[in-house]
A and B are shown apart, each in its own frame.
Chain A
Amino acid sequence: MTPSGDPRLLVHAYVDGELDPAHALEVERQLAADPSLAAERERIEALRRAIAQQLPRESAPPGLARRVEAALGLRPARTASHPSWTRAASHPSWRALAASVAVAAFLGSGATWLVLSPGPGDADMIVGNHLRALMAPQPVDVGSSDQHTVKPWFSGRIPEAPRVVDLSSEGFPLVGGRIDVVGRTPVPTLVYRHRQHLISLSALPLGRAAPIPPEQIAGYNIVSWTENGLAYWAVSDLAAADLNAFAKAFRTAGQS
């Protein structure tokens, strides 16, 4: 991200989560010192919220994929059973993968992760899981903003369900959950949203991956901490400050 001298431009980049942590902090300092800049930030966020609510992303018109195929002389649509042909391509394989992970989780039980030593590549794997989720048709296996739906879903698949809290009031609504794999360990991952950005929060057994200082890998911010014998890792393209705020909100919710 090329920093520009104009703080009014940088506020846009800040709101869009495009600044690295150093520049994000700088903008935060300016926001705190300059009420007119803070008002600009509020306007930008209000506009983005209004657009997101009033003009949601539309799906393609029905039959478009079929008409495109026909025009290209491709084989006729191979499936009539999928209402949304556009999503069919990669979806089944991911479901199958999730199912096999679930099976592995049952077979593996608790003892598996104790023998695994913490690896330096864990942070990479956690970022990799997040990336994979962003590219999948949907970032979660169970999509629900209801913690009472998400937690039981995990209970059926891994030995210990993670703590699930809803942080909507703090600006981080729950999107759902999925099971990631770090090394050979299936780990529960909660997904939260902040504006357009998704946050993956994985709960790893402590022996698996010790928390690291906040850092950036491939442009993604990582914040990790320990809580009740688990290492929590939060990954997102959110600005570092926002991700820290998320971590704080999650920890605070845990204490009450």
Chain B
Amino acid sequence: MASLKSEDDQARFARVVTPHLADAYALARWLTGNRADAEDVVQEACLRAFRGIAGFAGVNARAWVLTIVRHAAYTWLGKNRSAALLVVDDLESIEQQQAKGGGASGEGPQTPEAALIAKADARRLEAAITDLPVLFRETLVLRDVQGLDYREIAEVTKVPIGTVMSRLARARRRLMERVATDEAKGG
């Protein structure tokens, strides 16, 4: 099948997709939670990208690749970790309810000092991010680990920029509170 593809498609793939393999792998790892599955997801995404390479309009290759990786990761999660996806819809609606209900929802029960947050080590941060619901996790990872801007994140996750903003704010708040809790436990 692939051998029928023209030389052009191969060259295009090397130009558009290959430079973003590291980002693709990183996103897949954060979404699936482990390296072996991440590689499977990247392989699947690359297959999809290669088939669709002629349709790439040529604006933002990284966002295009990450969109495909995310889609492949969600397919994988649906097959292997359906529980991870199920809770998300509920959670979004709960968050929205809370946002409508309480005006000062930004002030959580525990508001750690910046200095405490700064002390969080890699293991603790990674665990806290891993425990985030997937929609919050992907938004935070795309922004704070992979450095995409809001517009790119909106493109990759297929939501308006306002939603990116609120998901990011909630993800960060959860991390801050989690870091404070961990620290209090002395763990």
Whether A51 contacts B145 by the Cβ 8 Å rule is yes
List chain A residues, Cβ under 8 A from B96: none
A47 CB contact (under 8 Å) in B10, B29, B122, B176? B176
Is the C-beta of A60 less than 8 angstroms from some C-beta in chain B? yes
List chain A residues, Cβ under 8 A from B14: 89
Is the C-beta of A100 less than 8 angstroms from some C-beta in chain B? no
Is the C-beta of B68 less than 8 angstroms from some C-beta in chain A? no
Q: How far is A73 from B161 in the complex, measured between Cα atoms in Å?
A: 38
Q: How far is A46 from B13 in the complex, measured between Cα atoms in Å?
A: 38
Considering only residues 157-187 of chain B, those with a C-beta below 8 Å from chain A are 160-162, 165-166, 168-169, 172, 175-176, 179
Measured between C-beta atoms, what is the minimum distance from B12 to chain A in Å?
Answer: 11
In the complex, the chain B residue whose C-beta lies closest to that of A42 is B114
List chain B residues, Cβ under 8 A from A113: none
Interface of A is mostly: helix
Given contacts A58-B26, A85-B18, contact A9 B118 (CB under 8 A): no
Whether A137 contacts B19 by the Cβ 8 Å rule is yes
Whether B18 contacts A61 by the Cβ 8 Å rule is no
Q: How far is A46 from B172 in the complex, measured between Cα atoms in Å?
A: 11
How many of A's residues come within 8 Å of B, CB to CB? 48
Given contacts A9-B165, A45-B114, contact A16 B176 (CB under 8 A): no
Given contacts A73-B2, A86-B21, contact A57 B168 (CB under 8 A): no
Q: How far is A74 from B18 in the complex, measured between Cα atoms in Å?
A: 12
Q: How far is A114 from B179 in the complex, measured between Cα atoms in Å?
A: 59
List chain A residues, Cβ under 8 A from B145: 51, 55, 57
List chain B residues, Cβ under 8 A from A65: 18, 21
A-B pairs with the 3 shortest C-beta distances?
A: A73-B2, A8-B106, A42-B114
12 inter-chain pairs at a CB distance below 8 angstroms, sorted by A residue, are: A13-B165, A16-B143, A18-B149, A42-B114, A46-B117, A47-B175, A55-B122, A55-B129, A61-B35, A68-B46, A89-B14, A196-B147
